[in-house]
Structure 1
Amino acid sequence: MSGNEEERPERPSEVDGTAHLFQALGKILKVLRRNAGLSQAELSDLAHCSEDLISSVERGVRTPQPDFLVRVDPLVKADGVLAVAADDVRKALARARVRHPDWFRDFAHEEAKAVALHYYAVQAVPGVLQTPAYARSLFEHRRPMLDEATIEKRVADRISRQVLLDQWPAPTVSFVLEAAVLLRPFGGPKVHREQLLRILEVARRRTVELQIMPQDKDEHPYLDGAFTLLTARGRREVAYTEIYGHSRLITDPEEVRAYTERYGIIRAQALTPRESLDWIEKLLGER
C-alpha cells in the first residue's frame, strides 16, 4: 500500500496536533531519562521492553502507548508527568480512528482491527512504516501543493495508524517492498537514512516479516501497483488498492483470491526475511 490517503481534501475540523503531542512526549522522555542517569538500554531493562522501543519513542517515530507511559513514569522519576499524559494519548488515539477522510475510513477502520495485514509496496514506503520526516517530504513535494495545516494533519493521520504495530496480541504483519522503494532517497540523505533505520527496527521484530524484492529478478507476477491484504477478526480476507488517487476496498472472493495468489508468488520470489535484513544493513553501510 502506498499510503496515498493524501490525495483528496478533508475538512478543516480534521486538522489537529496529534503528531506534535507524540513528538513532544518523546523529547520529554529523553530529558527525563538522562536526568535520571539512565541509558536507553538500562531503561529498557527496567521497563521490560526493547531498547528499540525507547529509541523510537524518543525520536518521535513510534507512538508512546498509554501503558508504556504509566510504566516508565516512576522509572525516570517523572513524578506523574508521563502518567498524566497517558489519558491525552488515549484520547488522541481514539480520535485518530475516526478522523480520516470519508473515502479512506472503510480501509482505516478495517486496518485498525485486522488480525492479519500484508503490504506490497512498489513506489513509496508503506504508510505504517513511514517516519514523520519521510511522510512530510512526500506531502511537501506533491502537486498541487498543500498548505502547512493540511500537511501537519496528514502526517499526524499517517503516523497514528502505526499503533497497530505495537498492539498485543499482535496481528500477523508482513511486508514485501520493491528494492527501488528503498533506493529512492525521498527527503535527502538524513531523512532517507532515518527511514531505513525505522524499517530495519520494525523488520527485526518477531511479530513482523519483511522482505525485499530485488531488482535483478527476470520475472515478476504483478507490477500493476501496490496493494494490501487484510483480515478482520471473524471476517474473510479483503484487498485494498490505491491507484492515481483512487482507492478501492475489494471484497469479492474471487478478486481477493487473485491478490492473495499474487502476494504468495511475490513472497516466494523475494529475498528471505534474513536476507532482506542483510540487504538493508548493507545499504546503510552497517556490513
Structure 2
Amino acid sequence: MSVDGEAVQVRSETDEPGREVDRDDEWGVAVITTVGRQLKLRRESVGMRAADFAVAMGYGEDLVYKIEAGNRIPRPEYLEKADEVLGAGGLLAAMREDVAKVRYPKRVRELAKLEANAVEVGLYSNHNIHGLLQTEEHMRALFDVWLPAHTEEETERMVAARLARRTVFDRSPAPALSFVQEEVTLRRPVGGTMVWRRQLEHLLELGKLRHVSIQVMPTDCEDHFGTGGLIEVLKFPDGTAVGRSDGAFAGRPVTDPKQLRVLELRYGMIRAQALTPRESRALIEQMLGES
C-alpha cells in the first residue's frame, strides 16, 4: 500500500502495538478510554478518516477503531507516531507515561506501589529466585516455559513490569531489603549455564549494597519453618504493614497486627535458620566456581 507515492507497510493483527484492556482494572479502563477518545477527536479535528489514518500509521483500520474505542492499549511508539501524523505538537505523545503504567497488570502495579513506599521489606522464596532479584534473562527463561504458553506480547509485558519494580533498589532514602532464598532455587540452571552464571553474579552484586541482605536457606536443614511457602512482609513509615504467605490466611494479603505477627515470627525463624549474608555469599561464589 502507498500514500503520496511512498510505500507503507501495513502490519497484521499479530504485530498490533497493544493488548486488550483488563475490564476489572477500573483505573486502567478509564485511562485507555480517555486516550482512545483523544486520539479520535484529534483525528476528526484534522479531517482524517480512520482508513487514511490507519494507512499513515502503517496499521490496519480495525486496530485504529479498537484503540479509539478503548478496547486496546497502544504502545508508546503508537502514540508518538499518531502525534506526528496528526500534528498534535506532543499532546498525544505526552500520554505515554500513564499508558505505560496501564500496560502492567493491576496486581503488579499495586505491588510496585507498596514496595515503593515501604521502609522495610522481608521476602522468603522457596520456589524460584525472587522476582526483584532476577536478571532479565532469568525472567524470560522462566516465562518461556510457562504452561499454557504466554504470547510474546504477554511475556514482554510481564518482563517490563518486573523490571520496573527494581527501582526499589535505587530509592533514597533506601529501604531495608531482606531476602531469604532456598538453596535449590540458586542451583537450578534456569535458562542454561551462562544465564545461570549471570544470575548468580547479579546476586553477588546486589548483596554488596548496604541496604540489601541476601541469605541462603540450606537444603539440608532438617527443622524448616519455611515449609508453608513464600512469605512477604512490607512495613511503612506510618508504622503500618502488610504481609502475605502461601501457607497462611488462604494466601491473602493481611494487615491485622495479630496475623502479621504470625508471618513475622515465621520469617524471623527462617532468617535465623539460614546462612548469614557472609556465608551465603561464600556459597554463591562456590556455586560459580563449580559451574
TM over 0.5: yes
Cα deviation, 1:16-44, whole Å, max 9, x if unaligned, reads: 68xxxxxxxxxxxxxxxxxxxxxxxxxxx
* CA shift digits 1:105-144 (9 cap, x unpaired): 4333211211111110101111111111100111111001
How many pairs align? 204
- Say yes or no: does 1:130 pair with 2:134: yes
| Alignment partner, residue 174 of structure 1 | 178
Unaligned 5+ residue runs, structure 2?
Answer: 1-19, 23-71, 78-92
234-243 vs 200-209, greater mean Cα deviation: 234-243
Identity across aligned pairs (percent)? 38
- Tell me if the contact between 1:107 and 1:240 (Cα under 8 Å) persists in the aligned partners: no
* Residue in structure 2 matched with residue 268 of structure 1 by the alignment: 272
Q: Residues 54-203 of structure 1 correspond to what in structure 2 (within 5 A)? A: 99-203=103-207
Greater mean deviation of Cα atoms: 224-233 or 267-276:
224-233
8 Å contact kept, 2:233–2:244: yes
1:230 to 220, 227, 234: 234
| Cα 1:284–1:96 shift into 2, 3 Å | farther
Read off the aligned partner of 2:73 and give its amino acid letter.
Answer: S
> Which protein has greater RCO, CA pairs closer than 8 Å, 6+ apart?
1
Superposed CA deviations along residues 149-192 of structure 1, whole A, max 9, x for unmatched, are 11111101101100100111100111000101101111111111
After TM superposition, the structure 1 = structure 2 runs for residues 12-51 of structure 1, keeping only pairs within 5 Å, are: 13=73
Tell me what 2:82 maps to: none
Shift of the 162–96 alpha-carbon distance from structure 1 to 2, 3 Å rule, reads farther
Q: Does 1:285 align with 2:289?
A: yes
- Cα gap change, 1:120 to 1:187, in 2 (>3 Å): same
Structure 1: segments with no counterpart, 5+ residues: 1-8, 18-87
Does the alignment pair 1:220 with 2:224? Answer: yes
TM-score by length of 1: 0.65
| Alpha-carbon distance in structure 1 between the residues aligned to 2:76 and 2:126 | 30
Q: 2:60 maps to which residue?
A: none
- Cα deviation for residue 99 of structure 1 reads 4.5
Structure with the greater alpha carbon radius of gyration? 2
Partners of 1:16 and 1:118 in 2: how far apart? 34
Paired with 2:100 and 2:235, the residues of 1 have a C-alpha distance of: 20
SS at match of 2:229: coil
For residues 16 and 147 of structure 1, the distance between their equivalents in structure 2, rounded to whole angstroms, comes to 19
Give the 3-state SS of the residue equivalent to 2:119 in structure 1.
Answer: strand
> TM-score, length-normalised on structure 2?
0.64
Aligned-partner residue type, residue 197 of structure 1 = E
Partner of 1:82: none
- For the 8 Å contact 1:175–1:211, the answer to whether it is kept is yes
- Identify if the C-alpha distance between structure 1 residues 182 and 168 changes in structure 2 by more than 3 Å, giving closer, same or farther: same
Change (3 A) 1:198 1:106: same
Shift in CA distance, 202/101, structure 1 to aligned 2, threshold 3 Å: same
- Equivalent in the alignment of 1:47: none
Q: Distance in 2 between matches of 1:210 and 1:216?
A: 18
Secondary structure of 1:13's match? Answer: strand
Task: From the superposition, tell whether residues 257 and 96 of structure 1 become closer, same or farther in structure 2 (CA, over 3 Å).
Answer: farther
Structure 1 residue identity aligned to 2:224: H
Secondary structure of the residue aligned to 2:283 is: helix
Task: Give the aligned residue type for 2:123.
Answer: Y
- Which one-letter code corresponds to 2:202 in the other structure? R
Q: Given the superposition, is the C-alpha separation of residues 10 and 179 from structure 1 closer, same or farther in structure 2, using an over 3 Å criterion?
A: farther
Shift of 1:13: 2.1
Question: Aligned partners of 2:144 and 2:198: how far apart in 1?
Answer: 18
How large is the Cα RMSD of the aligned pairs? 2.7
Name the aligned partner's letter for residue 135 of structure 2: T
What SS does the aligned partner of 2:222 have?
A: coil
